[in-house]
Amino acid sequence: MKTVKVHFLGAASTVTGSKFYLETPELNLMIDCGMFQGLKELRLLNWEPLPIDTSKIDFVLLTHGHLDHTGYLPRLAKGGFKGSIIGTAPTLAISEIILLDSAKIHEEEAERATKEKYGKHDPALPFYTVKEAEKAIDLFRFEKKEVWIQLSENIRFKFRFNGHIIGATFIELEIFGKVFVFSGDIGRTKDVLLAPPKRPKWADYLFMESTYGNKLHPKEDMEEILTTLIHKTINERGNLIIPSFAVERLQSLMYRLWKLYKQNKIPNIPIFIDSPMGTNVLSVFEQFPDWHKLSGKEYYAMRNHFKIISSYADTWKTIDDPRPKIVIAGSGMVTGGRVLTYLKQLIDIPTTTVLMVGYQAEGTRGRQLLEGAHELKLFGKYYPVKAKIRHVESLSAHADQQELLLWTKDIENIPEEVFLIHGEPLALDTFRVKLRDVHGWQVTIPKLNNVREFVI
């Protein structure tokens, strides 16, 4: 008999900070290594030392490159981890972009907080630096999807295509003959850029995300919504600001807007892409054409249609540009990035429309805007919200409840146990009941820092 321990170090009873540590007789693994985002009480957890010895971790396996799945890697390396960080090639390319961008933002925010004295510490400390991010990136090692990779005599894993964002996978981890499946973030069945997710066929222990475990995405006509908003922006001589996640959401928005222009549904309104990270992610689409649906011809035609901003000086030129325009800028939950500069200048103007295009976690500025906040705190100061706020959920890169159930449809056995992770409390409990009713599965909702022991 062998014992495997799983430590739920993140994304347990919350939707961020994915981190799962596995102790086995042969080696120690971590599945994902993300930062907590959103509520202050969650963000403060990032600064707490992990309740494990990080120097004893042999491998980190990444499901995909998003910050809430990779953002803690520099801290892990700083804390003594010297093993390999393994992901698919596009996942590691995305992770490198995100970590370096995040590190730069951490450094800039610490510098600004010190200068303007709105932080609690003097001098303010960045969560990690660019040098610390580079130290983690040096540990990257890529592996192909759909191929078993042997880690030790009795432990192997396989990355399996999962939609969501370019490079994303779920992980089938076989330990002494038992299959542990970690879903990562599950993508949509119908995505404009990505193929549908693969599905697991066997899972002795299933660790499954439930971001939208209690919801069905609305059947919105995105063409109609975008067309109407753009014509309204032109008529009012206003600004349409779209805070966007740099990975996948930005590229899918570009594709949709380009198609609308090609179909003569919108005029040639200036569209600015102000997301250095998002622009870098575009190059990943160019580098890995087998991971998405765009042909080379479509990719270059689409890219050339937009005005891509590279410098912060051009950000200010864009703000001062009096023409009606569309600006797509990071970040998607309005937690940082270039979009804050636009909102600081334009959020108090009634002809501004802010279009939210994805999930907004508790405690983020994006959630505040959706809930009708009359003012927004930016760079330590409050600004009145007079802009119109719109929200569309159908662009989400996360599967909804129906798609999550479909993802479980091909599992041939009855899992010994199912753990629901990466969800807010209502979504977790709703999906727990749904899985019990549909499959008759035993479902557990772990809490942060729970440890579960398996005898196999």
Q: Annotate 377-440 with DSSP letters as a single string.
A: EETTEEEE--SEEEE--TT-SS-BHHHHHHHHTT--S--SEEEEESS-HHHHHHHHHHHHHHH-
Instruction: Using the 3D structure, point to which of 391, 411, 446 is the last residue of a domain.
Output: 391
Label residue 101 by pLDDT band (50, 70, 90): confident
DSSP 272-309: EEE-HHHHHHHHHHHH-GGGSS--HHHHHHHHHTSEE-
Same domain, 357 and 424: no
**Confidence grade of residue 360 (pLDDT, cut at 50, 70, 90):** confident
Mean pLDDT for the stretch of residues 19-47: 95
273 vs 336: which has the higher pLDDT? 273
Domain boundary among 370, 391, 412: 391
Q: What is the mean pLDDT of residues 249-269?
A: 95
Tell me: pLDDT of 88 over 80: yes
Identify the CA nearest to 319 among candidates 341, 304, 336. Answer: 341
What's residue 114's pLDDT? Answer: 82
Residues 6+ apart with CB under 8 A from 430: 213, 214, 401
Q: Are residues 61 and 198 in the same domain?
A: yes
Is a pLDDT exceeding 90 seen at residue 99?
yes
| 130 and 232, same domain (yes or no) | no
Residues 206 and 227 in one domain: no
One domain, residues 49 and 137? yes
Share of the chain above pLDDT 70, in %: 99
Q: What is the pLDDT of residue 32?
A: 98
Confidence of residue 120 (pLDDT cuts 50, 70, 90): low
Dihedral, 169, 411, 402, 95 alpha carbons, nearest 10: -10
Same structural domain, 245 and 190:
no
Q: Write out the residue range of the structural domain in which residue 96 sits.
A: 3-215+397-455
pTM for this prediction: 0.90
Same structural domain, 369 and 258: yes
Number of domains in the chain: 2
Q: Which two tokens stand for residue 311?
A: 């410098």
Q: Are residues 334 and 412 in the same domain?
A: no
Is the domain of 77 the same as that of 210? Answer: yes
| 155 and 235 share one domain | no
Q: What is the CATH number of the domain that holds 282?
A: 3.40.50.10890
User: Which pLDDT belongs to residue 121?
Assistant: 64
Least confident segment among 113-127, 235-249, 364-378: 113-127
Q: How confident is the model at residue 119 (pLDDT cuts 50, 70, 90)?
A: low
Last residue of a domain, one of 391, 417, 439: 391
Residue 118 has pLDDT above 80, yes or no: no
Mark whether 121 and 252 lie in a shared domain. Answer: no
Q: Where are the beta strands (DSSP E) in 200-245?
A: 205-209, 239-243
| pLDDT band at residue 331 under the 50/70/90 scheme | confident
For residues 385 and 401, state if they share a domain.
no
Tell me the mean pLDDT in the region 139-147. 98
- CATH classification of the domain holding 8: 3.60.15.10
